Amino acid sequence: MKRFLLPALLCICMSSFGQNPPAGVNTAEQDHKHMMDQLGIRKLRPGPSGNESAPNHANYDEALANPFPDLPELLTLKNGKKVTSPDMWWKQRRPEIVEDFEKEVIGRVPKNVPKVNWELKITDNERIGFLPVIAKKLIGHVDNSAYPGISVDIKMILVVPANAKGPVPVLMMFGGGNSLPAPAQPNAEAMEKLNESMKALMIKNDPSLKAIFDQYPAYTPIVAATPAGGFGFGAPQTPPGQDPPTTQQLIAAGWGYVQIDPASIQADNGAGLTKGVIGLVNKGQPRKPDDWGALRAWAWGAARALDYLETEPMVNAKQVGIEGVSRYGKAALVTLAFEERFAMALVGSSGEGGAKLHRRNFGEAVESLTGGGEYHWMAGNFLKYGTAESNFGSKNAGDLPVDAHELIALCAPRLTFISYGVPEQGDAKWLDQQGSYMATVAAGETFKLLGAKDLGVSNDYKTEKMPPVLTGLLNGELAWRQHAGGHTDAPNVKYFIEWASKKIGHPLPGAR
């Protein structure tokens, strides 16, 4: 019987490390259940409904919003000692916070994560808002030699001012990354040659087309394309009273920008966890409880894009920021917190899992993420804090070892701009603007400890209230502004550019 042992073991190994996940783990629901089984969870609490007329609607009563009023102390070590110096922060307290976030909230980047080889696909001379730019389309090929069954190609667009006198600051933005902004068009003479050749080829392929071309001699098969977004030379100007597009504002301010496609790094769903870079590292198998989620994977991808920018002579790689809205606002905050080479962030409407306090009972809740549809953003261990019944009992947001104020504090002393809109215009109460302001206020202690300026208010998160809409707190390295628009950070972009340019010493065109 012993002679059959080796083949049997080989079969088990091949089954364990094959290209397909275990039987029954192919959908987000199955993956979610698989993680619950690993953790010994039998039942999760349902998240609140965003429909205010539903029986289980989210709470929007401030009197009930703080069931866990005391946040984890930011500047106290786990042994009870107070953090009194930057050295204690960097060497003792910050590593404690990082460990808790990696284990319980966002997951760990694996040690064996593969390298990325960047390929320049296209370089084009274009115009944005009448300004000449150099646009590059890049693909980051993630090494999949250890598991060829999964390919990951990170999509990125880089655009910089063509007339810059030196390396420029760059804002990397989550979203896009597939199309150049305003592809240069052939001139009239070249277009005529293209059409003549196209007509000849079409007639050669189908001689009956000659009669059609003879009947319509002015017809041209190829016409000049209108640049996407209408940013090309000769395009209509921005309507009065409206800000130009973010990309146009950046170029006009002498900045460059990057658009990076998060979906090309990691899919935004639970079924994709056995694919993308997470699945590649795990060789197609489901995650372990402390494996990274999509937020951390997107942040890792942004860092790999920064690797490329460090080789680009037209980019000041010491002045690269990260930006995102909603789920990508969460990712932008995670990126700045954990990828220390980034110099700044514009964090838009990030809500639960971003700048919003987990401990707040207002709008979106921990259970909103643990219950299913968005669990893939976080580490599997995060599910524990939405547990009703399990082998370890029940846990809630108050049991989390960390909270959002500590995530913001991990960004210190770098430039951190927290942005929100107003519910009346679509930036829903669900996001808990007040809870995010409280977290930003509390995080200020660390900025000050490290010699930076915070919001300029007290750090008493229990009593501080949000300033009026359109009142920016923009004097420090930590900044806050609530604009009068909806679920976007666009109305705050001009304030971010002015604030960040001043902080990094980048002169704005026309400024004295």
Residue 305: inside a domain, yes or no?
A: yes
Residue 136: inside a domain, yes or no?
A: yes
* Residues 267 and 342 occupy one common structural domain: yes
Residue 72: inside a domain, yes or no?
A: no
Closest CA to 366 of 355, 352, 350: 352
- The predicted structure's pLDDT at residue 228: 44
Residue 15: inside a domain, yes or no?
A: no
* Residues 165 and 142 occupy one common structural domain: yes
Closest CA to 475 of 452, 442, 491: 452
Report pTM.
0.89
Query: Residue for token digits 């940013």?
Result: 231
Residue 346: inside a domain, yes or no?
A: yes
* Packing angle of the helix pair 94-104, 327-338 (nearest 10 deg): 140
- The predicted structure's pLDDT at residue 225: 58
Residue 454: inside a domain, yes or no?
A: yes
* Residues 253 and 375 occupy one common structural domain: yes
Q: Kindly give, in sequence order, each residue whose CB lies less than 8 Å from that of residue 306, ignoring residues fewer than 6 positions away.
A: 172, 317, 320, 339, 341, 342
Containing structural domain, residue 316: 87-183+244-504
- The predicted structure's pLDDT at residue 427: 98
* Residues 402 and 477 occupy one common structural domain: yes
Three-class SS of 80-121: CCECCCHHHHHHHHHHHHHHHHHHHCCCECCCCCCCEEEEEE
* Residues 199 and 160 occupy one common structural domain: no
* Residues 419 and 445 occupy one common structural domain: yes
* Residues 492 and 476 occupy one common structural domain: yes
* Packing angle of the helix pair 294-309, 327-338 (nearest 10 deg): 60
Per-residue model confidence as pLDDT tens for the chain (512 residues): 333 333 333 333 333 344 577 766 889 999 999 999 999 999 999 999 989 889 999 999 999 999 999 999 999 999 999 999 999 999 999 999 999 999 999 999 999 999 999 999 999 999 998 999 999 999 999 999 999 999 999 999 999 999 999 999 999 999 988 889 977 667 677 777 777 788 788 888 888 888 887 887 778 787 765 544 443 333 445 666 789 999 999 999 999 999 999 999 999 999 999 999 999 999 999 999 999 999 999 999 999 999 999 999 999 999 999 999 999 999 999 999 999 999 999 999 999 999 999 999 999 999 999 997 899 999 999 999 999 999 999 999 999 999 999 999 999 999 999 999 999 999 999 999 999 999 999 999 999 999 999 999 999 999 999 999 999 999 999 999 999 999 999 999 999 999 999 999 999 987 65
Tally DSSP H helices, then E strands, for the chain.
14, 11
Residue 510: inside a domain, yes or no?
A: no
Residue 399: inside a domain, yes or no?
A: yes
* Residues 201 and 295 occupy one common structural domain: no
CATH number at residue 283: 3.40.50.1820
* Residues 307 and 193 occupy one common structural domain: no
User: How many residues are listed for the chain in this entry?
Assistant: 512
* Residues 497 and 352 occupy one common structural domain: yes
Q: Name the token pair of 341.
A: 């080479």
- The predicted structure's pLDDT at residue 185: 66
Amino acid at 211: A
Q: How many domains would you assign to the chain?
A: 2
* Residues 287 and 360 occupy one common structural domain: yes
* Residues 304 and 348 occupy one common structural domain: yes
Largest CA distance in the chain: 89
3-state SS, residue 232: coil
